[in-house]
Structure 1
Amino acid sequence: MNNLKFSVIFLFGVLVLFSCDNTETKKGRFLLKGNEKLKENDPEAAVEFYTEALLIDPNYKDALYNRGLVYQQLNKLEEAISDFSAILMVNPTDSLALFQRGVGYMDNGEYYKALEDSKNLLSNLPKSWKGHFLSGLILEKMKNYSEALLAFDNSLELQPDNPEVLINKATLHYYLKEFEQSEISLDLAQKLNPSEPNIYNLRAMLSFEAKDYAKALEWIEKSIKLNPKEAFFYNNRGLYLIYLGEHEKGLEDINYSLKQNPKNLYAIRNKGIYYFYKDQKELALSYFEEVYEKDPEIELVKEYIAKCNQK
């Protein structure tokens, strides 16, 4: 199980005017080439083209913004934050850059800086759902679930038909063990966007809580079909496979997820669960203790530490 992710890729295009302004034409071409590479699922090449555009004009907002988004996609958070900060140096009220930098700070564990960006966003655009949504995401990461839920409700007041907010609200209800409320928010989100993979990931998590492991596997397979690139879906599938007795298949998924993000505590925990069921309890315990040291509240960890220590 894992936290849901929220990411929006805004692809800025430009109308390249073939005029006497050769600088504008050149940087615009590099921007468009970067966008094409991103559509072709080649983010590294996209970064190279955006960088070429920025060599021509270091303050080129569209290239800075797009490169920042790609850096986030590549988990290069310091670089992403730097690009969004460059935009905000020129225009401190830029709402797109404020939102994405806030997400970058949040993903980098700099929660108070992220909250500052969300406050600035709310101050600049008090009628926008995004500021409340960003606040909710950060408070969720900080495990302040009651305030996060209030922030999501404020966001939904401004934009009631937003599936991303509904999914995150459903996730909070899940964390609070309010499973019926979670299902209600998921049902609304699914009506609005039935192709959103995070809906089925959370349905899988709810099925796992109900100990219906076969149904959990069915739901997570749907998530992976909709988005085969999301590493934490594979981690979740690995857990369900282990509980269904398919230990080696489960480990394969967990290792794949860890390769994408070696710091994912849920994947480290799941690897411990694999070794527990392979009767390698000392090795399993080393994984559980690593997770417990960093986040003692992650579910199942205390339970499995106790199991490993049983004589």
Structure 2
Amino acid sequence: MLEMFVMADTSTLLSSLISYLNEHSIGNSLLPVSRAQPLLSSEEKADICNLLMQRTTEYDIELEMARANGFFSIEQYKRAEQIYEQILSANPGNITALYNLSVTLMRLSTPEKALITLNRVIQNEPTLPEAYYQRGNTYDETGNSLKAIDDYTHAISIKPEFLQAIYNRGIVNAKLDLHEAAIKDFDAVIKLKPDISNAYLNRGVSFDETGNHQSAIDDYTIAIYYNQNNLDAFFNRAKTLFFLGEPQDAINDYTNVIVRLSTDIEALNNRGLAFDSLGDYEHAIKDYKAALKINPEYAETLNNLGAVCEALDDIGSAQDYYSSAIQNDPNSPSAHYNLARIHAKSGSLYLSLKYLDRSIELDSLLKEEASRDEYLGEVVQWNMMRRNR
């Protein structure tokens, strides 16, 4: 598509390209720090393609930089990489080309090459905050979270209001279960820009993880206020509401997710669980079966459907669903526990003990729960007597 070139005047072409790049927040110098690609319509992409197909008789580095950034903007990353490399061949110390090359290499899913390039940028320009930010992103992509935090922190020390660096450090802190630190980072983000929906979403997650559930609900609510389609905020608020014993409010939030994304299997499963807790087995079964229609092997839903059947005294179906759950997830403690309970009810003590032992092996907290259960308690006592003979 971009192979047929038209000759053009250098200054005219450069002016047109820079105007276009600036208009779409790309610019003709360092590429934007946002990981999100600027959204260009097909007409806008056609416009920049027309500009990129024009060539001049003379070589101009500023024009080549604009062309490389233009190719980057339409996701022609290999073309962009080639032009940045050509610029660096002529001028190895061009920090802008070196930096933009590193960002392009990340888009090409070559983080190791990007890291090498960013090290060169920082060696030559140690006070460039964007370089530390991008290297932090690269470390994060390659699983080196502590180095990512160090680089985000360094970027912030140079540029204290570096919003993206503060935000990303919060994400990585949360990933490392450093939730108090994450909350402070999202506090700072919200202070700088109070209308970022996902800042409230992520701070809400960290509040949940630290046991501050009401603050989590408040943050999810603000996240939804700023973005009515923030499905993660609806979903997380629903989970927390259910945990706090508000199943009807949870159902309302899960419904908001399902209305917008009917294939969200977790939302269907969890709404079914909320209906189940209210004794509304009809709607619970409907949601569970809708989830299984999307994925017939979804073990959590198979287990939950088994529990509904057990509550309705359909023991045969309950046993089948629990067995299917175990078949699809051999490490499901709840499915093993529930199947153990079914066998205990029917008097199959050896089978019950087999599944109970496995459930406790997977989750040691189930041992105490089993000892208090009407049916499994008898299995526990029987097993103790058997061992003491």
TM-score band, normalised by the shorter chain? 0.5 to 0.7
Unaligned runs of 5+ in 2: 1-33, 41-47, 89-96, 274-283, 307-320, 334-361, 380-389
Match of 1:250 among 291, 308, 328: 291
Within-5 A mapping of 1:20-39: 20-21=58-59, 29=67, 31-33=69-71, 35-36=73-74
1:168 maps to 202
Partners of 2:242 and 2:331 lie apart in 1 by 21
2:254 maps to 217
1:146 maps to 180
Task: After TM superposition, give the deviation of residue 170 of structure 1 in Å.
Answer: 1.4
2:269 maps to 239
Within-5 A mapping of 1:134-213: 134-209=168-243, 210-212=246-248
Partners of 1:156 and 1:253 lie apart in 2 by 38
The higher-RCO structure (CA 8 Å, 6+ apart) is 1
Task: After TM superposition, give the deviation of residue 150 of structure 1 in Å.
Answer: 2.2
Match of 2:148 among 114, 136, 152: 114
| Corresponding residue SS for 1:57 | helix
1:140–1:283: structure 2 CA closer, same or farther, 3 Å change rule?
A: same
Match of 2:81 among 54, 61, 68: 54
Deviation sequence 1:145-171 (CA, Å, 0-9, x none): 222222322333333443332221112
CA RMSD of aligned residues (A): 4.2
Partners of 2:71 and 2:294 lie apart in 1 by 34
TM-score (ref. length: structure 1) = 0.63
User: Residue 286 of structure 1 aligns to which amino acid in structure 2?
Assistant: P
1:98 maps to 132
2:164 maps to 130
Partners of 1:124 and 1:252 lie apart in 2 by 53
| Corresponding residue SS for 1:286 | coil
Partners of 2:365 and 2:290 lie apart in 1 by 21
User: Residue 291 of structure 2 aligns to which amino acid in structure 1?
Assistant: G
Task: After TM superposition, give the deviation of residue 50 of structure 1 in Å.
Answer: 0.8
1:241–1:161: structure 2 CA closer, same or farther, 3 Å change rule?
A: closer
Partners of 1:98 and 1:235 lie apart in 2 by 39
2:327 maps to 283
Task: After TM superposition, give the deviation of residue 32 of structure 1 in Å.
Answer: 3.4
Unaligned runs of 5+ in 1: 1-6, 37-45, 226-232, 256-269, 290-300
Task: After TM superposition, give the deviation of residue 24 of structure 1 in Å.
Answer: 6.6
Q: Residues 84 and 101 of structure 2 are in contact (CA less than 8 Å); yes or no, is this contact kept in structure 1?
A: no
Q: Residues 81 and 101 of structure 2 are in contact (CA less than 8 Å); yes or no, is this contact kept in structure 1?
A: yes
Q: Residues 27 and 54 of structure 1 are in contact (CA less than 8 Å); yes or no, is this contact kept in structure 2?
A: no
1:198–1:85: structure 2 CA closer, same or farther, 3 Å change rule?
A: farther
Which 10-residue stretch deviates more, 209-218 or 139-148?
209-218
TM-score (ref. length: structure 2) = 0.52
1:62–1:107: structure 2 CA closer, same or farther, 3 Å change rule?
A: closer
Within-5 A mapping of 1:68-79: 68=106, 70=107, 76=109, 79=110
User: Residue 274 of structure 1 aligns to which amino acid in structure 2?
Assistant: T
1:200–1:282: structure 2 CA closer, same or farther, 3 Å change rule?
A: closer
Q: Residues 271 and 284 of structure 1 are in contact (CA less than 8 Å); yes or no, is this contact kept in structure 2?
A: yes
Task: After TM superposition, give the deviation of residue 9 of structure 1 in Å.
Answer: 0.7
Partners of 1:288 and 1:304 lie apart in 2 by 14
User: Residue 117 of structure 2 aligns to which amino acid in structure 1?
Assistant: A
Partners of 2:119 and 2:260 lie apart in 1 by 36
Partners of 1:106 and 1:126 lie apart in 2 by 21
Partners of 2:164 and 2:221 lie apart in 1 by 22
State the identity %: 14
Q: Residues 139 and 147 of structure 1 are in contact (CA less than 8 Å); yes or no, is this contact kept in structure 2?
A: yes
1:4 maps to none
Deviation sequence 1:54-103 (CA, Å, 0-9, x none): 123336444542552x45xxxx5xx2464365245224554445334434
1:142–1:251: structure 2 CA closer, same or farther, 3 Å change rule?
A: farther
Partners of 2:112 and 2:366 lie apart in 1 by 38
1:177–1:128: structure 2 CA closer, same or farther, 3 Å change rule?
A: same
Q: Residues 111 and 141 of structure 2 are in contact (CA less than 8 Å); yes or no, is this contact kept in structure 1?
A: no
1:90–1:160: structure 2 CA closer, same or farther, 3 Å change rule?
A: same
Partners of 1:305 and 1:238 lie apart in 2 by 26
How many residues are matched?
Answer: 255
Task: After TM superposition, give the deviation of residue 111 of structure 1 in Å.
Answer: 1.6
